[in-house]
């Protein structure tokens, strides 16, 4: 919508993880260096963590895109509470292996055989698990056992665990000591400071052909940094709304006043979603929300109802 008005090639602040917009900040560069080091080492675990929105998924895409597929056999999993009993089948699928058996011993033998074949052909074997904080401890223990696979004294599998900061808390617990001893390196993706926020915004704009239309006052960057707390996904969301506002108002210059207006609009829209706005534990109020509430409120009420039904039926989410 606003791309034509500002003569941009495409939207600069889209929320999807587009590899074209990978911003190689110092902390992302450090994480990539650790991951590439892990590949050369070819054993143990590399752990990358960060709060939601700090660019973990885009980091994984950047790494995958840069690897030579002729030299690395790679499987990528997005974890969603995968238990130990299902993990081996998921891993087999991630590597493109046919799941020939439900028997755990046979499945393990097939996976080990596949790893050996890849290594014998000159490849390294890399498993990447995104959203790894969702893995229960028994699944992590299964991964530890897979990390023991070796041939002629050479370990066969390298694993990258990428997840939110809860993953670190899980891995440092006393019962995970054997696992933590196999961690080769860890890196936490931290939010941008004000200067990095400014550079990040300008980087994305230049990627789509920005020619200083619109222009920005320095206050814009400081306000965006403060409000978004240096989280890239939040920065994208706020800047996208700022450009939409600028298009509607036909602005050629953004200053602090416009940023404050957009922030006020965002917070006003978010107010009905605040838990204090309505108590979803009250059946009568929940019914009223379903009839008279906004779209966002009705969706929240419906999700609450589904969650209660799942709980009543004993269905795991």
The tens digit of pLDDT for each residue in 112-134 reads: 999 999 999 999 999 999 999 99
Could you name the CATH architecture of 193-273?
A: Orthogonal Bundle (1.10)
Radius of gyration (C-alpha) of the chain in whole angstroms: 23
pLDDT at 47: 96
- Domain parsing of the chain, residue ranges: 26-189, 193-273, 283-313
Contacts of 273 (CB under 8 A, 6+ apart): 296, 297, 300
Cα maximum dimension of the chain: 68
Q: What is the pLDDT of residue 301?
A: 64
SS3 252: coil
How far is the C-alpha of 289 from the C-alpha of 314, rounded, in Å?
A: 26
Selecting from 3.30.2310.20, 3.40.50.300, 3.40.50.1220, 3.40.1280.10, what CATH number does the domain 26-189 have? Answer: 3.40.50.300
- The residues near 272 (Cβ < 8 Å, ≥ 6 apart) are 293, 294, 296, 297
**What are the pLDDT digits (tens) for 23-60?**
999 999 999 999 998 888 888 899 999 999 999 999 99
pLDDT value for 94:
92
Rounded Cα distance between 222 and 224, Å, is: 6
Is residue 276 over pLDDT 70? no
Q: Give me the torsion for CA of 133, 134, 140, 143, rounded to 10°.
A: -100
pLDDT, mean over the chain: 86
Average pLDDT value for residue range 165-177: 90
Which pLDDT does position 41 carry in this prediction?
83
For residues 238 and 236, what is the distance between their CA atoms, to the nearest angstrom? 6
- pTM value > 0.85: no
Average of per-residue pLDDT across 185-205 = 96
Contact between 304 and 280 (Cβ < 8 Å): yes
């Amino acid at each position: 919508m606003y791309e034509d008005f500002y003569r941009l090639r495409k939207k600069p602040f889209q929320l999807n993880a587009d590899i074209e917009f990978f911003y190689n900040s110092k902390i992302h560069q450090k994480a990539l260096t650790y991951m590439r080091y892990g590949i050369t080492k070819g054993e143990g675990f590399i752990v990358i963590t960060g709060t939601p929105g700090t660019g973990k998924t885009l980091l994984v895409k950047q790494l995958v895109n840069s690897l030579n597929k002729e030299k690395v056999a790679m499987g990528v999993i997005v974890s969603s509470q995968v238990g130990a009993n299902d993990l081996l089948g998921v891993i087999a699928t991630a590597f493109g292996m046919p799941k020939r058996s439900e028997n755990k011993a046979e499945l393990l033998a097939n996976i080990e055989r596949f790893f050996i074949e890849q290594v014998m052909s000159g490849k390294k074997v890399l498993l990447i698990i995104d959203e790894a904080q969702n893995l229960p401890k028994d699944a992590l223990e299964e991964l530890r056992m897979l990390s023991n696979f070796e041939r002629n004294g050479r370990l066969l599998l390298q694993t990258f665990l990428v997840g939110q900061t809860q993953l670190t808390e899980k891995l440092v617990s006393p019962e995970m000591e054997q696992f933590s001893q196999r961690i080769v390196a860890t890196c936490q993706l931290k939010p941008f400071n004000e200067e990095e926020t400014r550079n990040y915004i300008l980087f994305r704009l230049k990627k789509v052909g920005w020619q200083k239309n619109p222009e920005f006052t320095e206050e814009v960057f400081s306000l965006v940094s403060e409000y978004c707390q240096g989280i890239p996904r939040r920065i994208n969301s706020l800047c996208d709304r700022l450009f939409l506002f600028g298009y509607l108002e036909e602005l050629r210059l953004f200053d602090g006043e416009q940023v404050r207006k957009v922030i006020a609009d965002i917070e006003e829209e978010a107010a009905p979603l605040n838990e204090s706005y309505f108590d979803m534990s009250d059946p009568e109020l929940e019914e009223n929300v379903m009839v008279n509430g906004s779209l966002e409120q009705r969706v929240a009420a419906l999700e609450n109802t589904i969650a209660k039904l799942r709980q009543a039926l004993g269905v795991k989410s």
